[in-house]
Amino acid sequence: MKNLLSLAVVAALSVSAAARAGSLVDVSVIDRDTGAVLQTYAHDGKFYVAGTPGHRYGVHLSNRSGARVLAVLSVDGVNAISGETASPDQSGYVLNAYESTDVAGWRKSMSEVAQFNFTNLSNSYAARSGRPDNVGVIGVAVFRERPLFWREGRIAEAPLADRYPPAPAAGMPAAPSADSARAKAESAPATAQAMRPLPAPQESLGTGHGAREHSDVRYTQFVRASVNPDEVDSIWYDSQRNLVARGVIPVPRPIAREPQPFPGGFVPDPAG
């Protein structure tokens, strides 16, 4: 088993977000412009959240176990640290026992990220870097750590230092996206309202390469207990309008009004 150079989170850690349960790591999506944890919807064995175009978002990761884990984060099929087409065997974030953090963007260096934001598919980082086929899904591959009985006391070399995601090229054409979905979440009952016709779907949402912000991390060493992930958690996303049009978010049924035998009052004159 080769040693894996990962990133240990040393930025401010969050414990306030209401995460979605996974066996090892809870994953949820936070709208950073409102501070709300996005509601999740179950549909056909998959789980979705509705994003607001133009809003920044973060991926909340919370280690539920009593040992370190590695979380390899994929956004739209792209590794959020290295910018490579995502694979579970790549670099990720190491969380200590019961530790939580919010990943706010594409990692550009050891001290900076480019913010995640909801945008049109054609303006997403994946589409603008020529990889539109998996836009619309966030995935986390979780690995347990192999028990180590001794450590050398030195840090492995850092081959990923020059492999952060580059800025997307301006004007790069985007191909249409293939819808994909699977995630950890909970469905919520719809409130009763008047029945409305389904809206026509619009261009799907993707994740843009937003403004830079400060975010410190450091390198650490992590040896996976297995070459295969111990858990894969996924959350698919699109706009509210599109999720309603696709039947992911149910259209509420109207409340049937029953005639009442004693509505009260005196006998009025008839109209007309």
- pLDDT tens, 65-74? 999 999 999 9
Which amino acid belongs to residue 127? Answer: A
Range of the domain at 117: 4-245
Q: Are 63 and 25 in contact, with CB atoms under 8 Å apart?
A: yes
Q: Residue 129 domain-assigned?
A: yes
pLDDT at 269: 83
Q: Residue 211 domain-assigned?
A: yes
Mean pLDDT of the chain: 80
State whether residue 237 is helix, strand or coil. Answer: strand
Q: Residue 217 domain-assigned?
A: yes
Residues (pLDDT < 70) of the chain are 1-22, 148-201, 272
pLDDT at 270: 85
Q: How far apart are CA 54 and CA 33, in angstroms?
A: 9
Q: Residue 263 domain-assigned?
A: no
Q: How far apart are CA 53 and CA 93, in angstroms?
A: 27
Q: Residue 257 domain-assigned?
A: no
Q: Residue 75 domain-assigned?
A: yes
pLDDT at 105: 98
Residues in contact with 258: Cβ distance below 8 Å, sequence separation at least 6, in sequence order? none
- Total of domains in the chain: 1
Q: Residue 253 domain-assigned?
A: no
Q: Residue 61 domain-assigned?
A: yes
Q: How far apart are CA 117 and CA 197, in angstroms?
A: 29
CA 87 to chain centre: 16
